[in-house]
Every structure is written in C-alpha cells, then in structure tokens.
Amino acid sequence: MTWMPSEPSPSTEAAAFPSCTDDGEDVEILDVRIAGASALDAVVLERPEVVDVVLDGCDVAGALGRSGRASRVVVRDSRLRAVTWVNGIVQDALFDNVTGTDLSFRFSTLRRVLFRDCVLPALDLTDAVIETARFERCDLRGAVFDGAKVKKLRFEGCDLAGCTGAAALSGASVHPDDLLSLGPSLATALGLTIE
C-alpha cells in the first residue's frame, strides 16, 4: 500500500464546532479547518456528513455518529474519547498523532484510511469492513477486530498486545516486529495453548 490520503484545503477556518442543539438532527461539517476546539457534551448525530475537514488540536468526547459519511478528513494532534462512528463510512482520511479511549468504528467501512502515531487502546473495529487501511506506529493494545472483514490492511510498528478477533485479520499484512505482540492473540484465535 503506497497510497497516502491527500490533505484537504478547506476554504474556511473555525475555532469551534458547529452547535448541535438537538440530538438526532442531521449535521454537516463541510470545507472547514477547525483548530483548538472542544466538543465535550454527549451528542447523538444521525447521518452526519463530514467532508473536506481538518481537525487540528481538537478535543472531542461523547459523540455518537450513526450512518454518517466522513470523506477527505484529517484529524491531527487531537483527542477522541468515547467517540463512536457506527454503521458509517470513513474514506480518504488521516488520523495523525491522535489519542483516544473508547474510539469505535463498529459496523463501518474504512476506505483509504491511515492511522499514524496514534494511541488508541481498545480501538473497536467490530464487524467493520476494512477495504484499505494502514496503521503506522500505533498503540492498539486491546483492539477489537471481532467479525471484521479485511480486504487490505497493514500494521507497521504497532503494539497489538491483547487484541481480540485476530482470526478476522486474515489477509492483513503485518511487519515482522509487530507479530510478537500479535502472537498471543493469534494463538488464542487458533485454539493454541501457550505454556
């Protein structure tokens, strides 16, 4: 995989996220660079559209997006805590130096997504369709891959200790150094006992 998501060039700048007054309302975040903003109130978003967006140095917590589309998105130097993107699409996206707990892409499709230098313990990719994704130098301890469908997936310089659903990673490409942390999970998936 030699592709690299191209960074969008939004025409507007913002220091805050758009307001979401009611849970469930459709939200569009389009063609904007948001820097240094926080969104810390729990919110449920139905069919959110996030297109041509850069989040730089942001802090997001408690957001649930259902059946949404994120396309041509960069999230850099940010925190994502208890953020769930369920049954949606993430494509042409870069997550660079992102930290987060309880980050989930359950039942979503990842297409041309790069995670680089991220700390995402217990990242949840349950039943995700991973069409093309790459993880570089990421802490993925305890990641959940149960039921994932992998087409093209690469791990390089990652810690995969304690992940579950390792059998779903069939077809993935793993750097030899990463295999050491993934080994116990693979053994469990194969029914092997390590003594």
Query: pLDDT digit string (tens) for 160-187?
Result: 999 999 999 998 999 999 888 888 888 8
In this prediction, residue 2 carries a pLDDT of 53
Domain of residue 51: give its range. Answer: 12-189
pLDDT range class, residue 188, cuts 50, 70, 90: confident
**Residue 55, C-beta contacts closer than 8 angstroms, at least 6 positions apart:** 34, 37, 73, 74, 75, 76, 78
pTM: 0.92
Residue 1 covered by a domain: no
Edge-to-edge strands of the sheet including 43-46?
43-46, 63-66, 84-86
Residue 4 covered by a domain: no
Residue 195 covered by a domain: no
pLDDT at residue 1 is higher than 50: no
Residue 128 covered by a domain: yes
Q: What is the CATH number of the domain that holds 170?
A: 2.160.20
- What's the CA gap between 35 and 29, in Å, rounded? 14
Residue 7 covered by a domain: no
Are the CB atoms for 12 and 21 separated by under 8 Å?
no
